[in-house]
């Protein structure tokens, strides 16, 4: 075993195609029209998405070629580095070998530009003038703003009101890239006005902001919607992470027994894990995959796998996914990127097939893991990413107890430099764990769409 810390690939090794997980999984339950309940058609999505992305959303082809301009844009920061976590291993005294694939090297500090760049490219090609979207913690909004700047598209972002006021820097970043950022719910849309009429103090949610963005896209032929996670084509775009990681694990002469990622909408986890899962399905090469989610928003461990809307109002297609119910508003935990009621249908399907496991972890344990990671590896992780670190540490401790030298690979989906106020709250003992409120969850699950059980 070589004693290297960092595994780097040159630009020519940026993958030439995305891996579509649907190719190796059994046929999935189709997305359904929000009003008629019928399987959606490309025409249904045409009002909010360009043809190429719709084709990818519905595709079962294994490889989807990455267009040249997208690969060139990726080359600004890809291939991303893979690190061996020597410092963390020493701090834990574990025989496990721990690796992490670091996506914080992108211009906005997370994995999200991997799909933002692709979506901006296809929309530009289709003659679209403007993209509209929602953002919770701000990473998706700033990544789309960056991609819009790269391809000459206007970008408008509905940002969950509570984070808009609590986290000012993501908004500054979006505006620096030339995007417009509006707190949601807003008076600009029927969806926002209806919610404010009911509750003028509403602090917003990702589901509400999505309703506003989709409404705007439906109502304007030159404006399209761009999604930051959950959708099939987004997970597919993120597989550049796992494909590169496979080459880098080969360089390290090693291979993961366990692959771990935090799960909000499922895109960084899916992006890292699906290329490994695909290989397992095709060749039988074993790998365990673990999704790490917050106990306060336990979509995979306590939600149900049924049809549900992606937004609060019910404008998006219904997806067969693990969900807490589209009206569920998670408590204001600091990992804003993990505060979503649903999760990618592809990830939900992999869990149902036993190709993945899921673990819920409380936020104070995650911040403890994040601080240990910062002190042993030098990178301050995004609060979302600390969930993956927590589970990786727990696996490494188990290896120590059982005297087994397993190889653990996790996705470090982003850095936490926009989240230092949250670290201060943790370090000064002000952070609390908020369990998921069972009553609210039951009420929300009672409001699933009527054809949810089909």
Phi, psi of 258 (to 5 degrees): -130, 135
Q: Give the x/- contact pattern for ligand PLP in 361-390, rule: CB under 6 A.
A: ---------------------x-xx-----
Q: Which residues make Cβ contacts (< 8 Å) with residue 19, sequence separation at least 6? A: 62, 63, 236, 239, 242, 243, 274, 275, 278
Phi, psi at residue 100, to the nearest 5°? Answer: -135, 140
Q: E-assigned strands of 282-345?
A: 288-294, 304-309, 318-323
Residue 229 touching ligand PLP (CB under 6 A): yes
**Residue 295 has which token pair?**
């106990």
**Which is closer to ligand PLP, CB of 303 or CB of 337?**
337
Contact 192, 208 (CB under 8 A): yes
Within 13 Å and on the Cβ side, how many CA atoms surround 54? 16
- 3-class secondary structure, 275: helix
| Contact between 349 and ligand PLP per CB under 6 A | no
Least Å distance, CB 265 to ligand PLP, is: 4
Q: What DSSP character marks residue 406? A: -
Q: Nearer Cβ to ligand PLP, position 81 or 414?
A: 414
Q: Does 268 bind ligand PLP (CB under 6 A)?
A: yes
Q: How far is the CB of 137 from ligand PLP (least distance, A)?
A: 6
Q: How near is the Cβ of 125 to ligand PLP at its closest, in Å? A: 24
Q: Is 172 exposed, middle or buried (0-12, 13-18, 19+ CB in 10 A)?
A: middle
119 neighbors 226 (Cβ within 8 angstroms): yes
Check binding of 263 to ligand PLP (CB under 6 A): yes
Show the site string, 101-120: x = touches ligand PLP by CB under 6 A, - = not: ---------x-x--------
Structure letter (DSSP) for residue 151: H
- Total residues contacting ligand PLP by CB under 6 A comes to 20
- Closest among 155, 210, 148, 146 to 181, alpha carbons compared: 155
| 21, 330, 414, 449: which one binds ligand PLP (CB under 6 A) | 414
Find the largest Cα–Cα distance for the chain.
63
For position 350 contacting ligand PLP by CB under 6 A, the verdict is no
Binding mask 138-157 for ligand PLP (x = CB under 6 A): -xx-----------------
Q: Contacts with ligand PLP in 323-342 (CB under 6 A)?
A: 337-338
Of 49 and 273, the one with the shorter C-beta distance to ligand PLP is 273
Q: Is 295 in the site for ligand PLP (CB under 6 A)?
A: no
Binding segment for ligand PLP (CB under 6 A), chosen from 210-218, 264-272, 369-377, 420-428, is 264-272
303 binds ligand PLP (CB under 6 A): no
Residues in the chain: 454
Contact between 206 and ligand PLP by CB under 6 A: the answer reads no
Nearer to ligand PLP, 298 or 337 (CB): 337
Helix (H) or strand (E) holding 412: strand 407-412
Whole-number minimum distance, CB 338 to ligand PLP, in Å? 6
Give me the least distance between CB of 386 and ligand PLP, in Å please: 10
Considering only the stretches 209-217, 241-249, 260-268, 275-283, report the one whose residues sit in contact with ligand PLP under the rule CB under 6 A: 260-268
Among 227, 264, 275, 449, binds ligand PLP (CB under 6 A): 264
Which of 210, 239, 243, 267 contacts ligand PLP by CB under 6 A? 267
302 CB-contact burial (10 Å; exposed 0-12 / middle 13-18 / buried 19+): middle
> Does 184 participate in binding ligand PLP (rule CB under 6 A)?
no
Please tell me whether residue 181 adopts helix, strand or coil conformation. strand
CB of 118 to ligand PLP, least distance (A): 15
**Smallest distance, Å, CB 291 to ligand PLP?**
9
Q: Does 232 bind ligand PLP (CB under 6 A)?
A: no
Q: 239: which 2 tokens?
A: 């597989």
Provide φ and ψ at 180, rounded to 5°: -105, 130
Spell out a b/e string for 178-202, using b for 16 or more CB atoms within 10 Å of the CB, else e: ebebbbbbbeebebbeebeeeeeeb
Task: List residues binding ligand PLP (CB under 6 A).
Answer: 110, 112, 139-140, 229, 262-269, 337-338, 382, 384-385, 413-414
């Amino acid at each position: 075993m070589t004693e290297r810390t960092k595994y780097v690939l040159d630009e020519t090794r940026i993958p030439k195609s995305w891996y579509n997980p649907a190719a190796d999984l059994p046929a999935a339950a189709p997305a359904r029209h929000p009003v008629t309940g019928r399987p959606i058609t490309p025409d249904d999505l045409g009002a909010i998405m360009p043809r190429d992305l719709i084709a990818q959303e519905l595709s079962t082809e294994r490889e989807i070629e990455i267009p040249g301009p997208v690969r060139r844009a990726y080359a600004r920061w890809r291939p991303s580095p893979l690190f061996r976590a020597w410092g963390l291993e020493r701090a834990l005294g574990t025989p496990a070998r721990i690796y992490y694939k670091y996506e914080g090297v992108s211009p906005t500090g997370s994995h999200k530009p991997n799909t933002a760049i692709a979506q901006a490219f296809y929309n530009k090609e289709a003659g679209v003038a403007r993209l509209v979207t929602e953002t919770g913690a701000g990473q998706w909004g700033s990544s789309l703003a960056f991609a819009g700047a790269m391809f000459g598209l206007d970008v408008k972002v509905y940002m969950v009101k509570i984070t808009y006021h609590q986290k000012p820097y993501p908004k500054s970043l979006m505006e620096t890239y030339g995007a417009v950022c509006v707190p949601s719910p807003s008076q600009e849309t029927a969806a926002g006005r209806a919610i404010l009429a009911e509750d003028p103090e509403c602090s917003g949610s990702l589901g509400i902001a999505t309703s506003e963005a989709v409404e705007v896209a439906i109502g304007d032929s030159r404006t399209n919607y761009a999604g930051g996670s959950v959708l099939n084509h987004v997970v597919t775009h993120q597989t550049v992470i796992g494909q590169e990681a496979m080459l880098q694990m080969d360089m390290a002469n090693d291979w993961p027994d366990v692959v771990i990622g935090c799960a909000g909408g499922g895109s960084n986890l899916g992006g890292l894990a699906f290329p490994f899962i695909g290989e397992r399905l095709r060749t039988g090469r074993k790998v365990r995959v673990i999704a790490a989610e917050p106990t306060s928003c336990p979509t995979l461990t306590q939600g149900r796998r049924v049809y549900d809307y992606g937004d609060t109002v019910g404008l998006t297609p219904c997806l067969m996914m693990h969900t807490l119910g589209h009206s569920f508003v998670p408590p204001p935990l600091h990992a804003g990127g993990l505060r979503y009621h649903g999760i990618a249908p592809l990830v939900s399907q992999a869990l149902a097939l036993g190709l993945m496991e899921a673990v819920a972890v409380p936020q104070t344990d995650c911040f403890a893991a994040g601080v240990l990671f910062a002190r042993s590896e030098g990178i301050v992780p995004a609060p979302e990413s600390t969930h993956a670190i927590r589970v990786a540490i727990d696996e490494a401790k188990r290896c120590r107890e059982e005297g087994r030298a397993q190889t653990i690979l996790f996705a470090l989906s982003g850095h936490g430099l926009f989240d230092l106020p949250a670290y201060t709250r943790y370090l000064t003992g002000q952070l609390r764990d908020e369990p998921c409120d069972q009553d609210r969850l039951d009420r929300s699950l009672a409001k699933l769409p009527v054809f949810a059980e089909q």
